[in-house]
Each structure stands twice: as structure tokens, then as C-alpha cells.
Amino acid sequence: MPILHLEMHPGRTLDQKRAFVREVTRVAVETLSCPPESVDVVISEVAREDWAKAGKLIADK
């Protein structure tokens, strides 16, 4: 069973998340030859103040 984890900043709408989940599930089914019922997608939203890149908090950029 594929479990796909996505981490992103908050701010996407519920409709955007629905579209993402629908499309990533479709691609997983097509690529991995598995049933859609076996694909789990976990979306974690991480606040900008909790995310860093290249040694700096994203919130400080």
C-alpha cells in the first residue's frame, strides 16, 4: 500500500487539496498498478516559522 506524505505551508484551499489528492492518487494507480483504495495520502501543514531552508527560517526571508 503506497503511503504518500506531503508537507507544505498552510494556505491551500480545501478544493486545492482535493484536486491534489485526486491527481496524485490517479498517478500512483497508473504508475504502481495498484487499486485506488490502497493509496493513502497524508497532508501535513507546517507553519512558516517552523520551516527552515539553507540555515534560515522561511519566515525570515
Catalytic residues: 2
Give one DSSP letter per residue of 16-56, joined into a string. HHHHHHHHHHHHHHHHHT--GGG-EEEEEE--GGG-EETTE
Cell numbers given for 59: 519566515
